[in-house]
Amino acid sequence: MTARRTKFYLDKQNGKWMGVCAGIADYTGIDVVWVRVAAVLITLMGAFPWTLVAYFAAVYFADNKPSGLYADRDDQKFWQGVRTNPTRSTRDVRSKFRDIDRRLADIEIYYTSRNTRLADEIDSLR
């Protein structure tokens, strides 16, 4: 079974301690430095016990990031966008398919229309 690209994973390969901040950065597309800074600031601003509970809960419940999850950097950016806003991503894909469908219909109309000159050239080639 292939790994789901819309799931949160621990990124221990790029992580400093247990890979939670690197996993959050991979999941959201935010630079890992900013995620780490935010985690430290939240911890220091008085949410110390809850931050640790959430951190260790993420370590306990999340799976490790499988190797080869993304084909390339563009694939990674696409799936991060899907996780961020799935409705927009679906709308974009539908729009692209509609555009392809419209262009194919235009090509079909062009080649199947009553173009006598084209039909004569095709007949002369037979």
> pLDDT exceeding 90 applies to what percent of the chain?
6
pLDDT of residue 1 exceeding 60? no
Confidence bin at 77 (pLDDT 50/70/90): confident
CA distance 37 to 7: 23
Report how far apart, in Å, the C-alpha atoms of 37 and of each of 32, 52, 53, 57, 122 are: 9, 15, 18, 20, 69
- Residue 98, judged by CB atoms within 10 A of its CB (0-12, 13-18, 19+), counts as exposed
Question: Where do the H-state alpha helices sit in the chain?
Answer: 20-28, 32-44, 48-61, 73-84, 86-112, 116-125
User: Is the torsion defined by CA of 20, 22, 27, 29 positive or negative?
Assistant: positive
pLDDT (0 to 100) of residue 74: 81
Residues 6 or more apart in contact with residue 12 via CB below 8 angstroms? 18, 19, 22, 64, 65
Q: Angle at the Cα of 30 (from 59 to 60), degrees rounded to 5?
A: 5
- Choose from 11-20, 29-38, 73-82 the range with maximum mean pLDDT: 29-38
Predicted structure pTM score: 0.58
The residue with greater pLDDT, 25 or 73, is: 25
